[in-house]
Chain A
Amino acid sequence: MTPAQEAATRREAETSQASGVPAVVAPSPGPAAGSPPPHVAPSTADREQPKLQIRALRAWYGQTLALKGVDLVVPPRSVMAAIGPSGCGKSTFLRCLNRMHELLPGARCDGTLLLDGEDLLGRQVDPVVLRRRVGMVFQRPNPFPTMSVRDNVAAGLKLNGIRANHQEIVERTLRQAALWEEVKDRLDESALGLSGGQQQRLCIARALAVQPEVLLMDEPASALDPIATAKVEDLIHELKEHYTIVIVTHNMQQAARVSDQTAFFYLGELVEVGPTEKIFTNPDKPQTNDYVTGKFG
């Protein structure tokens, strides 16, 4: 205990009157960054193997090094938010996780990216198969315009030739995406007839239909109105019971609402990562504090 704390202890022992001020909940000096915050049902998250382990991940656009070595651990069935100003590399980071980054001409990434212990960047790993385990939802809803709602959700199954009860999966994922009630009577109509928020939830259902383990979300609500945003955020909260989610957002309050852990990126580097509550009340790095309080970015 610091001398101040000692003095306070003694003083407290003397005073008979109770100070009417309730104690502020402070982050106790306890387990490392992987511990689940109080509002999540107590799970075995910190005793299981982490879902994603990222070590020294780097990404290039041609000759430019955009991501300068990221070390990060994502526990299973949790939400990790990536925040940072524009151009800080958070979207690049996300796209490395399902190897979409390397689809751009001249782009590549290296390092170690373990999913349940298996290195996704290894030579023997087929990126196409990987993308069925690590799904992605994009900023602007992008349902296939020539297909109906039903066909859109089943698209991943049909195009990949996956044999399964498509109808059952369509209904299940639409329910998971909290969209079933709204579209169950118009499953065979064009997907473009839905509102923006509905289309985005449709895209989420479509991504879930191929049964990924990890879901990547690139600013999923930035094109939506506040109510649709709230629905998507609520959905994320439900989805994390079963999926591991990594979400990139430029909206800090959204990161605060939705995530268990937050990673702050700046100029291609991971500056700080930790429990969301800590990042938003008492971050370690002054840069994090400056960004989170709106002093730059």
Chain B
Amino acid sequence: MAPEAHTDKVFDVELTALRDKLLDMGGKVEASIAASVRSLIERDSSLAERVRTQDRDINRLEVEIDDMCRRILALRQPAASDLRFITTALKIVVDLERMGDLSVNIADRALQLNQSPPVKPFHDLVTLADLSEAQLKKALDSFVEKDVEKAEEVIQGDDLLDALYQKLFNELLTYMMEDSRVIRRATNVMFAAKQLERFGDHAINLAEMVVYMVRGTDVRHPHSRDIQQQG
């Protein structure tokens, strides 16, 4: 049976700490997007404010994780699976931090919208938000469980998310064309929806890195690499 632990126990501790920190950051991002959407739907401005301040924690974690990765690279010369894990960590930390920023953008839209009378409820927005959150959660789970199938499900799930965004976009456009007084408010909602769509894109990035980490094959930008692959 292959041993799980490195002979050098300190290295094991460092890798575990890195993983824990990544998951911590992921959890905070999950909480952040959920809170920001709720602050918009439930018109809760104080919640939106909290989302903004809590983003500082997410940013701080990005710096800390980068530092840990650099340290491990310098001192441990990781190879093979360890190397893929570290390079994955360096990549997904960027996506997670951006997702945190996207949540803050949604919170800002909420703050804007809460100053005006409520706009008609958009169930699709809630659905879009649920889907984005689910994508992130599944991507993080695939990372923890080293589950390539789950990661591939995330990558495929992006189609649905894009379709939902399109539907919402068209609805809002129609709404704006019907009544010009709602344009400002509808545009804000549209911006929020866009953040959710981009949120989904970042979840895809995360999932692609998980595939690389586990399988060792890079599945990103296959279209751009067609020429090389055909050669």
List chain A positions with a Cβ less than 8 A from chain B: 1-15, 19, 21, 23-24, 26, 28, 252-253, 256, 279-283, 286-290, 292-297
Contact = CB atoms under 8 A, between A and B. Distances in A.
A295 B4 CA distance: 7
A53 B229 CA distance: 30
A280 B216 CA distance: 11
A21 B2 contact: no
Contact of A3 (B79, B152, B216): B152
B220 A23 contact: yes
Contacts of B223: 8-9, 12-13
A295 B7 contact: yes
Nearest to A24: B218
A282 B216 contact: yes
B80 A295 contact: no
B174 interface: no
Contact of B83 (A281, A288, A290): A281
B228 A19 contact: no
29 contacts: A2-B152, A4-B156, A5-B219, A5-B222, A7-B158, A8-B155, A11-B201, A11-B204, A12-B221, A12-B223, A19-B221, A24-B87, A24-B212, A26-B212, A28-B229, A256-B79, A280-B79, A280-B80, A282-B216, A282-B217, A287-B2, A292-B79, A293-B78, A293-B79, A293-B82, A295-B3, A295-B6, A295-B7, A296-B7
Contacts of A19: 205, 220-221
Nearest to B211: A4
Contact of B3 (A2, A21, A24, A290): A290
A281 B79 contact: yes
A128 to B, nearest CB: 41
A56 to B, nearest CB: 27
A258 to B, nearest CB: 15
Contacts of A295: 2-7
A289 B3 CA distance: 11
Interface residues of B, number: 44
B77 interface: yes
Given A28-B228, A281-B83, A294-B11, A8 B220 contact: yes
Contacts of A281: 79-80, 83-84, 216
Given A4-B152, A8-B220, A293 B2 contact: no
Interface string B202-231: 001100100110001111111111001100
A4 B80 contact: no
Given A19-B221, A21-B220, 18 more contacts: A4-B152, A4-B156, A6-B222, A7-B159, A11-B204, A14-B162, A19-B220, A23-B225, A24-B87, A26-B217, A253-B77, A279-B80, A281-B216, A287-B2, A290-B3, A292-B80, A293-B6, A295-B3
B81 interface: yes
B204 A290 contact: no
Given A21-B205, A295-B5, A282 B84 contact: yes
A10 B159 CA distance: 9
